[in-house]
Amino acid sequence: MNFDLDVTNFLRIGTKFTFTKRANNMTQGTEPGGTQNATRATNMMRQMLGSKPYIITDLAESYDDEEIRGTDIWLQNYDDISKEHRINAVVYADIKFTKEISFRTTAGADFRDKTRTRWYGNYIDNARNGRAGIAQLNALRWNIDNTLNFDRDFDKNNRLNFMVGTSLSSNLNKNSTVEANDFPDHEFRAGGIKTARSVTPGYSEDKSALISYYARGIYSLKDRYILTATYRADGSSKFSSDNKYSFFPSFAFAWRMNEEFFMKDLTFVTNLKLRLGWGQVGNQALSPYQTLTTYNSIKMADPNSNYDLTDNGSFLIGVKPSILANKMLRWETSEQTNIGLDVGLLKNRINITVDLYNKITKDLLQDIDIPPQSGFSNMWVNRGKIQNKGLELTVDGVLMEKRDFSWSLSGNISFNRNKVLELGKPAAQWGSIYAPAFLGKDIGNDNTYFKMPANIFIEGHPVALFYGFKTDGLVTEEDVASGNLPTYRGKPLQAGDIKYVNVNNENGLNDINDADKTIIGDPNPKFIYGFNNNISYKRFTFTVMFTGVYGNQVVNGNLLQEEDTAPSNPASNINNIRSEAFYNAWTPDNQNARYPRLRKTNNSGDFTDRIVEDGSYLRLSNLTLNYNVPLKANWIRSIGLSFTARNLFIITKYSGWDPDVNSFSSGSQKIGVDWGSYPSARSYLFGLSMSF
């Protein structure tokens, strides 16, 4: 709902109000640890003999579970239901004191009330006899902005605009959780959570605030030379008092060259503007309270255990530090210089925009792993400096324009190169690389069949390169007979195993180990691009949009399980694999095979270049057809009908579901890895719009 009212000739007020009610019944989705950490989609088919559970008898010793689970069992035994109510409200007031001086105040609030209920039945979580979780989120964000504006034309050649303002915003999040397992009756699913024999409540609350003061001045000479200067001070509650505030200036200059005398004869040039800019911006993207020592409650004794401090079967509650505080945390700062050119040709039927930029970001806010001897697993620090530089080009043009028909095209392409300039740590040996570096976050965890970082950050190199072993096909019988075949982590390799490249040959041991790891790929694309086609005929409008990425690589981590019968953990189940990997596995009769031999014990629990693939793609992202219905009634202004199709097809060499990977909902240190990513959904939408 929108409302605007001119109260007087100098006062205008208005409001915008939105209410949203949303309900979802979801499948297992992306989590901070990756989709595979819990129940990724491939696990649903991992050991499936059919669409229903089958009892294994003669092979039971090879499996942890007696039942092999199919996708229909997941549909019957898994719930993930969320319900959300959301209110957005904005009110404003504009006061015009004089022709040149005006004031605007705006207040806004965003309130969310969300409940999420999850249930795991016995067939997918039989070790816990049913498991449920209920989470309640109450979130409130509000802001108040005030600006005072001065705008004056001194004469036909000189114009000055000056603005000062303040902004105050606050975020409050309250999370209540209840997790339970061991249900005597599964009929009520999560609704019977009170009957569970083990119930664990949880509660967390965080609050942060940001205050800003800013000023901006724009001077225009003949509307041909335009100079802009901005200065702002930002203060965040996430930092300690010594580092709470930071200051960020910026400058920009624009020159309308087409209005100069030397351009008068170039009549086909409608617009030619040169833009120069330099500025700094800050980033405070970290969790609240990282500069403070906070505490969590813990159970000191479990009445179900043999270790009972209370002697009466009750709980003894204590507290412990939850984070390692860093009072020295400060704003992350990015400094950018850019040069741009805007060109309009043939009365702006053709428009070209070119931008060159160079951005240096220092004091990077990073959540790093620390030695467990500290009693903590991680802490936030300011560390490192990176560079992003590149070129962006946009072209759009009207190819045809007649009374009832028009056709326009637009396209864009971006080339970006990044580099780690500083890491703030000494050089060390990382596999075959000696340099200042650190490894990214682990992919997988202790509860999965795999746990290892895929990315490495090396000073002087692009961000988040893939790190692992290089390979050279499969071990042949001739390799084994030669006697020169290296071992793999001290174990002999056999014909049909993956053949690793001995990059380092540390101490002449002829063994493949961590010292042989090296750079095996790059997730950073050479360029990204997109183009649109828009056709209008009478009351019809047809729009199609393509997007694409070229030159990046993706680690298809799913292949560690889907192309190998043997898990890295010998105690785990033998995996089912892709039919291609099964029928084309190495055997004495098929020595030119692409895939390694079938076996129960695994010789590979590492990332290798065998699973690094080309991530380039071209996607038909959006196709829309609109029709404007002709009207004769005066009481209605317009009626529009629309059909939209999204993600109709993708062209790619990637063997997974979707090269636009999204396995991890958080973490800038796990980049370009497909770890059970869900593919982009294809959707079809029909719409009706009316205005009165």
What pLDDT is recorded for position 562? 78
Q: Compute CA 361 distance to the chain's CA centroid, rounded to the nearest angstrom.
A: 19
Q: Which domain holds residue 304?
A: 292-325
pLDDT digits (tens, 9 = 90+) for 229-283: 999 999 999 999 999 999 999 999 999 999 999 998 899 999 999 999 999 999 9
Is pTM beyond 0.85 here?
A: no
For residues 649-686, one letter each, b for 16 or more C-beta atoms within 10 angstroms of the residue's C-beta and e for the rest, the string is ebebebbbbbbbbbbbeeebbbbbbbbbbbeeeeeeee
Instruction: Assess whether pLDDT exceeds 70 at residue 388.
Output: yes
Mean pLDDT of 152-179: 95
* Backbone φ, ψ for residue 63 (5° rounding): -125, 145
Instruction: Assess whether pLDDT exceeds 60 at residue 317.
Output: yes
In a domain, 299, yes or no: yes
Domain count, the chain: 1
In a domain, 315, yes or no: yes
In a domain, 306, yes or no: yes
Collapsing DSSP to helix, strand or coil, 129 comes out as: coil
In a domain, 277, yes or no: no
Mean pLDDT of 660-665: 77
Local confidence band at 316 (pLDDT 50, 70, 90 cut-offs): low
In a domain, 98, yes or no: no
What pLDDT is recorded for position 312? 55
Collapsing DSSP to helix, strand or coil, 325 comes out as: coil
In a domain, 636, yes or no: no
CB 589 within 8 A of CB 484: no
- Residue for token digits 């491939």? 42
In a domain, 535, yes or no: no
Q: What distance in Å separates the CA atoms of residue 195 and residue 198, rounded to the nearest whole number? A: 9
Local confidence band at 425 (pLDDT 50, 70, 90 cut-offs): confident
Question: Regarding predicted confidence, which is higher, 551 or 566?
Answer: 551
> CB neighbours (10 Å) of residue 486?
18
In a domain, 237, yes or no: no
Question: Regarding predicted confidence, which is higher, 208 or 558?
Answer: 208
Question: Is beta strand 332-345 parallel, antiparallel or unpaired with respect to 350-362?
Answer: antiparallel
Local confidence band at 578 (pLDDT 50, 70, 90 cut-offs): confident
